[in-house]
Amino acid sequence: MEIDKIRNMSDDELKSEEAKAAEQLFRIRFAKSLGKQEGIGKIKSLKLDIAKFKTISKERSLAAVGTKTTAAKAGKE
């Protein structure tokens, strides 16, 4: 998935897409352990998508903390 599309998602959409990708990754790995070879090529892209989702979530949480800290500092002065 492209990073621009991910950035335009809401927090709830981001969490649900991450959960879907993690579930899909689990299912492919489970099938692989049973000897099935279907979908193995998709593992790398799913792992990258999950990393992108987590990165955007972390950026948003850090930005929110940064704004609160800046606002608190401005109120003290």
Per-residue pLDDT of the chain (77 residues; tens, 9 = 90+): 899 999 999 999 999 999 999 999 999 999 999 999 988 899 999 999 999 999 999 999 999 888 776 666 666 65
Overall number of domains in the chain: 1
DSSP 16-76: HHHHHHHHHHHHHHHHHHTT--TTGGGHHHHHHHHHHHHHHHHHHHHHHHHHHHHHHHHHH
Q: Domain of residue 52: give its range.
A: 3-76
**Domain containing 66 — which CATH number?**
1.10.287
Residue 67: per-residue pLDDT: 76
Phi then psi for residue 36, to 5 deg, are -85, 145
Relative orientation angle of helices 11-33 and 43-76, to the nearest 10 degrees: 150
Residue 52: per-residue pLDDT: 96
Residue 71: per-residue pLDDT: 63
Residue 66: per-residue pLDDT: 82
